[in-house]
Structure formats: C-alpha cells, structure tokens
Chain A
Amino acid sequence: MERLNRPIETAVQQIPDEWFQPIEKDLNKAEEVSRPSLSFYKDAWIRLKKNRLAVTGLFFLIVLILAAIFAPILSPYSISEGALRNQNLAPTAAHWFGTDSLGRDVFTRLWYGARVSLFVGIAAALIDFFIGIIYGGIAGYKGGRIDSTMMRIIEVLYGLPHLLVVILLLVVMGPSLFTIIIALTITGWIGMARIVRGQVMQLRNYEYVLASKTLGASTARIIRRNLLPNTMGPIIVQITLTVPSAIFAEAFLSFLGLGIQAPNASWGSMANDGLSAILSGDWWLLFFPALFISLTMFAFNVLGDGLRDAFDPKLRR
C-alpha cells in the first residue's frame, strides 16, 4: 500500500540514467520466431494426446485392428466349424466367450467379425472420401454455374432416405460384402462432398490465401500449404465419424438379415443370432458382439470428437 502512495517522480529519480543503454536494432532478431514452429499435425497430435478419452479410443482401435488382422493366430478354432457336442457353452477357459448353437467358438468369430465390420467401415469411409473430395472440390473451386448445378443435384440426393436406398439395393443385388459397401457409399459421399465444398469455398477467399498469392506463391503451393492443411481437419473428423456410422449400418443390415450371410460372421449377424438365444438365457451370444459393436462405435466417436477439438484453431492456446 505504501509503495503505491509514494509519488511517482521520486521513484523515477532514484534510478540513475547510466542504467539505461540503447540496444542495437537487430533486424534478424525481430523476424525470428520465438518458439520452434509446429506443423499443423504435430500441434493437433500434441493436443489430441492431452485428451485421455480420445487416446484410449485410438489405442482400442489399434488393438482391434491388429486382432482382426491376426485373427487366425489368436485362436485355435475355426470360424465356420464347431463341434456339435459343444453347443451353447457358457464362457469357459477353453472358449473364452462361449460357443454358439452350432458349437462354434464366439471368441474366434468375433475377430473374424471385426474384419468384416472394420473393412466395411473403413472401405466405405475411404470411398466416400475420394468421391466427396473430387465432387466437393470441383464444386467449391469452380463456383458459379457449375457449383450451383452440382449443388442442386446434391440437394435432391440429400433428401433420399439413405438406409431405404441401401435396403432396396441389397434386395436387388443380393447381400454380399461388396454390395453392402457399394450401397453404403452410393449415398454416403454426399456429406463429405458438402463439407469439402464448404471448406474450399470459404478458404479460397481468405486473406492469407490472397497474401500468399501476392507474395508470388504458385497455385500448387497455395493448395498444398494454405488450403489442404486447413481442409484436412474437418475431413479427417468426417472420416472418423463415417466409419462408425458405416459399421452401424452394416450391423443394422445384418441384423435385418440383409448383410453378411452364414457361415461368415459379422458383428451384426452375430447379434441377430444372439437375439433368439437370449430368451433361453444364453446371454453371451448377444453380449459379446453387442459389446464390441458398442465399444468400437464409442472409440470412433470419442476419437472423432477429440480430433475435432484438436484440429479446431479456435481452441488453440
């Protein structure tokens, strides 16, 4: 308190003039970046790592993908053949997740099912990504008449009820892994195209793109350095959220009997088989596929949320 009340002149007078020395103006130093520069992805990765839930999701997905790849090594049992005397066994040391009504090992079938579910999810997301980026990119970049025509088409397609279209296609083409992916992507790319188009249109007119142009950057450099890094965030988020919805759609279709056909397994078809078993008390037939569908969707969802936060420049501190 006392210090504040002291007249300001006396405080200044007490400081001798020789304490002050002009420093030389160093132009190089003024331009120097104070902190090491981080690339967009490094920065996002650092912030993603702080999100414990998202990291857990990522970890779970990596383990799941590895388990799906190495499914034949993980377990000694076969996917399609079981011993009939081992029907409907509850989980034991030999059959960790029990056996189904044909004596097949649920643990084994789960990993083969993971292959189908993950394959459908990732394939659908990637195809959506390629079609969406091209369609949306052209519409957003060209603008004008081309854009508005392309957008009218999207507007018409957007109103179509996706799952109905998918169901119709499956009825006509017959259920198989290939048709499921085709059916899912035939309407699935629209969301991606809209996002890419919106991003490209918005970024195209930003001042920093103009600044880059003024400084003589080539179009390729603008696209690579200015446009792509900033569009990739929402696109990657969209991909991580497309995968669980494709996995859900596959499970949904298999549950209706339109998906993967026996003896192959998918989590949806296993849940469908488990539905009838649950009334006789064989809970593990439904529980494990249900658990893995839910965990996988959960993992993708939290990872997508985490990525969305990590990529959002507004949240950067």
Chain B
Amino acid sequence: MAIYLIRRFLIMIATIFVIATMTFILMHSIPGNPFTTQDRSTSEAVQENLNAHYHLDEPMLTQYGIWLKSLVTFDFGPSIKQPTETVNDLLSRGFPISAELGMWTIMIALLSGITLGVLAALKHNGMIDYIAMTLAVLGISVPNFILATLLIQQLAVNLQLLPAATWSSPMHMIMPIIALATGPTAIIARLTRSSMLEVLTQDYIKTARAKGLSPAKIVIKHALRNALMPVVTILGTLVAAILTGTFVIERIFAIPGMGKYFVESINNRDYPVIMGTTVFYSAFLIFMLFLVDIVYSILDPRIKLHKKGGS
C-alpha cells in the first residue's frame, strides 16, 4: 500500500512538474514580452523597470527558477493586465464559485446517471431502457455550450422562468448545472447500465434471490456495489471534463468563476494569470486522479495496491 501510494505520488509530482515546465517554455517562446506588445508607448526607463519588476530581464534559467519557486510557495505574483490584483486574488475569488458549480454538477450527474442506469438495466430492453439510452446518447452528442444556449433561449428568453445569467441565487444555478451535468450524466448512465447488466447475471445475485431477499435489497446491497466500480474509474476523467466545461459555461452564463478569468486571461494574453491558472487547474485535476485511484484501490479488494505496472 505504502509503496503504491509513494509511486503514485511521485508520478503526480512528475506530471505537475511537466505541466509547469511546459507552461513556462510555451509562454516564453512567444516573441517579445507583455510590455513590448502593448501599443501604449512607455519610455525606456519604464520598460526597464517593468521588466525588472517582473524579472523579465534575468536569464531564462533564473526566471525558470523563480517560476518554480513561485509554484512551491504558491505565490503566482501580480496580474499584468490588472496590476492591482495578484493571480492568487483571482484564484481565491474564482475558485470557490467554480468549485460550487462543479460539486453540484458532479453530485447531480452521479445521482441521476446512476438512477437512470440502474432503471435501464432492471428493465432491460423495455421502454424505460430504450428511453434512458436514447437520452444518454443525446446527452453525449449535444455539446454543453449548445445545450446552455438552447436552455437560455427557451427557459430564460421565451418562457422567462429562470434568470439568464450571473450566479447569485439558487435559481441562477439551475441552468448552468443542467447544461454542465447532462454530458456526465449520460456517460454515467451508460456505464452503470452495462456493468449492472453484467453483474445481474452473476451467480451471487442468484444466490441472493434464492435466499429470498427483496429486489430492492439485492439491487442496492449486492448488485450496485460491484456495478459502480467502472463509474469510480472514470470519475477522474469526468472531473476533467466538467472542469473544462466550466470555461464555456461560465462564459455563457457570465459566472464570475475561475473559468471566466482563465478565458479572459487568454484573450488578454495575461501571461502570469494564464500560467497560474493552468498550473492550478492541472494540479487540481492531477490530484483528483490521484484521489480516484486511491478510492478505487480501497473499494476493489482484488486490486493489490503494490501490484506493479498494470496501467
């Protein structure tokens, strides 16, 4: 167990290091620096001061060192386009909102996806199965940004049921969460259904039935427990999908979360913010994958944690 954990942890650190280095190299391979590209004419002295302030006059290796140090100390410095704010300010302001959106989305996707999948498996080839799977394929096929705009047009503009944008009350949260959760719900539903179908044919389910357990108990206590393993494996990927989904969703619904700052910083070419948010996002995701791996290995007794390879 300990060896496996350490190994996974080292891989996690290596991945974060790779992304940090890649971000650094990419950002510095852009010709010029953020100040020379501005058309506002500043005097030589100001340029130099700015360069010195942001360490842009140092050799590459020193800058790389400073960048790594800022990572370890978790201090990404000031934003270039909004000098009064630091990257940390933006992160601490945006992250809670994005996290709220993300948590709700995951919870709703899990609940509705698993319910749909189980119902479809229990009524295999029946009406419910057919409807649920059609919904699931539709959910996978319709991109979230399109669903979001359709929702706004129908529910907010035409019917005036829900507020179209911002993030201030539970009513505001309904549409973004639906738009973001539909894709993951569909994926979870399909996965639950197929693994549930497989589990239901197993002998131990027959045994449980023969013992006279109620159908509900068989499904919840015996079948679901094993059927949900594949769902746990893809949780990491789902978190990634939801996270990138927040970029567009937050933009469409004007939610002041991290995704909005990230997209803005790209459009403004605000390098410290791009670098900071990218590394933050990546570290968060990589940590999530790590957690999912650990949870999975705890849940599945067949996986020996010290097993080598097997990726």
Known: A155-B11, A256-B248. A160 touches B274 (CB 8 A): no
Q: Which of B15, B142, B286 contacts A294 (CB 8 A)?
A: B142
A257-288 to B contact mask, C-beta < 8 Å, 1/0: 11000000000000100110011000100100
Q: Output the least CB separation between B270 and chain A (Å).
A: 11
Stretch at the interface among A79-87, A106-114, A202-210, A296-304: A296-304
Question: Bound complex: CA of A101 vs CA of B240, how far in Å?
Answer: 35
CB distance A159 to B11 under 8 Å? yes
Verify A294–B143 contact, CB threshold 8 A: yes
Q: B269, A168: Cβ atoms under 8 Å? A: no
CA distance A161 to B244 in the complex (A): 9
B278 x A164 contact (CB < 8 A): yes
A156 and B251 contact, Cβ closer than 8 Å, known pairs A164-B282, A283-B153: no
Chain B residues within 8 Å of A165, by CB: 19, 22
Chain A neighbourhood of B41, CB < 8 A? none
Q: Is the CB of B18 within 8 A of A301?
A: no
- What's the minimum C-beta distance from B193 to chain A, rounded to whole angstroms? 12
Task: Say which size band chain A's interface belongs to.
Answer: 35 or more
Task: Report the Cα distance A255→B259, complex, angstroms.
Answer: 14
Residue of B nearest to A194 (CB): B311
Looking at chain B, what size class is its interface with the partner chain?
Answer: 35 or more
Q: Is B132 an interface residue (CB 8 A)?
A: no
Is there contact, CB below 8 Å, between A172 and B26?
yes
Does B145 contact A298, Cβ atoms closer than 8 Å?
no
Contact check, A271 vs B145: say whether CB atoms are below 8 A apart: yes
**Contact A252 B143, beta carbon cutoff 8 Å:** yes
CB distance from B280 to the nearest CB of A (A): 10
Min Cβ gap A288→B in Å is: 11
Is A301 a contact partner of B137 (Cβ separation < 8 A)?
A: yes
Q: State whether the Cβ of B29 lies closer than 8 Å to any Cβ in chain A.
A: yes
In the complex, whether A251 has a CB less than 8 A from a CB of chain B is yes
| A251 touching B143, Cβ below 8 Å | yes
Question: Known: A156-B18, A161-B243, A278-B149. Is A172-B27 also a contact (CB below 8 A)?
Answer: yes
Q: Is B67 an interface residue (CB 8 A)?
A: no
CA distance A237 to B22 in the complex (A): 31
B161 within 8 A of A: no
Contact (Cβ within 8 A) A159 B15: yes
- Known contacts: A160-B18, A252-B145, A275-B149. The answer to whether A301 contacts B11 by CB under 8 A is no
Please tell me if A148 contacts chain B, counting CB pairs below 8 Å.
yes
Residues of A within 8 A of B240 (CB): 161-162
CB of B95 within 8 Å of the partner chain: no
Which residue of A147, A148, A194, A294 contacts B141 across the interface (Cβ within 8 Å)? A294
Residue of B nearest to A289 (CB): B146
Closest chain-B Cβ to A114's Cβ sits at a distance in Å of 16
Q: Cβ of B247 and Cβ of A256 under 8 Å apart? A: yes
Residues of B within 8 A of A171 (CB): 26, 266, 269, 274
- The answer, yes or no, to whether B296 is at the interface (CB within 8 Å) is no
Q: Which residues of A contact B212 (CB under 8 A)?
A: none
Give bound CA distance, A118 to B309, whole Å. Answer: 37
